[in-house]
Structure 1
Amino acid sequence: MGSSPPEVLDLGVVDAVVLDTDGVITDTSRTHAAAWKRAFDELLRERGRRTGVVLPPFDAVDDYLRYVDGRARADGARAFLDSRGITLDAGGAGDEQGDGTLEALLDRKTRYFLDEVRKHGVRVFASTVTLLRELRRRGAGIAAASASRSCGPVLEAAGVAGDVDVRVDGLDAARLGLPGKPDPALFLEAARRLGVPPGRCALVEDALVGVEAGRRGGFATVVGVDRQARLRGAMLERGAHVVVRDLADVAVVGRRSGTRDPVV
């Protein structure tokens, strides 16, 4: 970072920016991956005890990126379990931890994630906070989007809830029946709430399915964030217009013309 010219985000071209939360605003992707690993590995060990078949544990890097990252929690869980030849009944709200249903697994993962947030707090990426505040200074609309149902507590714990105009998360997706990424529905809802068409919005994402969703949704600029320098080629193939290692590599120019009140 810093040796090459920055990528330019021109507020003469876009009026608003939609940012994914985990991995873009907050450094919580690893926290999510660790919570998924704990929940999946418990299920895999229990399945092995009952069947006598030892199944490979969840890899918090490769399996997380391949099956879970950026997806709605149920979609990601099903994708990983399919890779291990496991199908769970859907279950319902109130299932106990040991019920062996998909809903019980998802609730367990959420508990593990929030436990980590309560114990250790949430780290934000300083360069993202700088970008958010520069966008606000120049009049751009800002939305935080996440497939996670824990987005609200994460933004509050990180101290950046007040830096965004609107939030669309997994709770909204469930309530509105929005399909998960790579469908662009979550991001399109964020743009709608900002009162800005996607063709006048930039999207910032660190997951491949999120980058693809931005392309499908017709966002004016899709910025891929590849912090580990592993996904640049794949992000460009999925539709990213630019790929950066960090948002310090993005320079904001211009100023948004006119104002729109966010839609609640």
Structure 2
Amino acid sequence: MIRAVLFDMDGLLTDSERVYARGIQAVMDGLGISISDDAIAQALGTTDPVTDQIFSRGNPRYDGDAMRSAVNDWLVRNGYDRAMPLKPGAEHILRTLTGRGVLCALVTSSPLSRADNYLGGQGLLSLFSAVITGDLGFPSKPAPDVYLTAAARLGVPIVDCAVLEDSYNGLRAGRAAGAMTVMVPDLAPYCEEIAPFVDHLAADLSEAEGILCP
């Protein structure tokens, strides 16, 4: 029986991965640095050091701190510093699960300040009984540490947890941790490569809710 659900944030609960991809591409174009959509997709959902490793390949002029500062400026100019669109069904699935006594944890590579901006302002951050963010220093997904830590903080065995993810690295982390995994695709599509790491595939959060609350 599923006693807890561990949620990714970017690309799952919020439409931020699509927004960040646009911002990164705009900034890189402005800096005259060529970056592929593939590289951006690989970097989304990882910590800053991992992102820097990906983006610096073949780009000796790449400066991670400068890129992040420029992307943050882009977000502010476009009104995304304090508000980010929620994915359809995000609030409903959280309130349904917590209403049924299922514990929820937020497990994101984003810093706490961003999670607070995106979810706290909409009254959703308080629905999570545990919050694991990228600024806590845990190894980046696909390492399982963040999901194992979330389960431990909830006091629920990882085998009784479900991980909801949109990214390949997140699904690999959930599988390595030993949780049931549910993929809700965003920028990265379901494919044969990721199939071994996916227990259930949902088209959206409403379908994921049906899987978790049959």
Do the two structures share a fold, i.e. TM-score over 0.5?
yes
Structure 2 counterparts to residues 168-207 of structure 1, below 5 A: 168-173=132-137, 178-207=138-167
For 1:228 and 1:207, the matched residues in 2 are separated by 8
From 191, 194, 212, give the equivalent of 1:235: 194
Equivalent in the alignment of 2:59: 86
For 1:166 and 1:115, the matched residues in 2 are separated by 32
For 1:72 and 1:228, the matched residues in 2 are separated by 18
1:167 to 2:142 alignment: no
CA-to-partner distance for each residue in 1:5-40, whole Å, 9 max, x for gaps? xxxxxxxx1210001001111111112212222333
Structure 2 counterparts to residues 241-260 of structure 1, below 5 A: 241-250=199-208, 251=210, 252-253=212-213
When residues 110 and 185 of structure 1 are mapped into structure 2, their CA distance, relative to the original with a 3 A threshold, is farther
Give the deviation of 1:86 after TM superposition: 2.5
Counterpart of 2:96 in structure 1: which amino acid?
Answer: E
Equivalent in the alignment of 1:128: 90
From 14, 20, 27, give the equivalent of 1:26: 14
Displaced runs of 4 or more, over 6 A? none
For 1:101 and 1:162, the matched residues in 2 are separated by 36
Gaps of 5+ in 2: none
CA-to-partner distance for each residue in 1:36-86, whole Å, 9 max, x for gaps? 22333344x1xxxxxxxxx5x334x43322x2122112202321221xx13
When residues 226 and 234 of structure 1 are mapped into structure 2, their CA distance, relative to the original with a 3 A threshold, is farther
* RMSD (CA atoms): 2.4
For 2:21 and 2:121, the matched residues in 1 are separated by 18
CA contact (8 A) 1:155 1:161 kept: yes
1:138 to 2:126 alignment: no
When residues 110 and 172 of structure 1 are mapped into structure 2, their CA distance, relative to the original with a 3 A threshold, is farther
Counterpart of 1:19 in structure 2: which amino acid?
Answer: F
Q: Give the count of matched residue pairs.
A: 210
SS at match of 2:192: helix
For 1:114 and 1:64, the matched residues in 2 are separated by 20
- Identical pairs, percent: 25
Equivalent in the alignment of 1:211: 171
Counterpart of 1:122 in structure 2: which amino acid?
Answer: M
For 2:70 and 2:95, the matched residues in 1 are separated by 35
Equivalent in the alignment of 1:77: 52
Give the deviation of 1:118 after TM superposition: 4.5
User: Which structure: larger Rg?
Assistant: 1
CA contact (8 A) 1:141 1:165 kept: yes
For 1:181 and 1:73, the matched residues in 2 are separated by 12
When residues 229 and 208 of structure 1 are mapped into structure 2, their CA distance, relative to the original with a 3 A threshold, is closer
For 1:63 and 1:199, the matched residues in 2 are separated by 32
1:154 to 2:118 alignment: yes
Moved more, 148-157 or 114-123: 114-123
TM-score, L = length of structure 2: 0.85
TM-score, L = length of structure 1: 0.71
Counterpart of 2:207 in structure 1: which amino acid?
Answer: D
SS at match of 1:154: helix
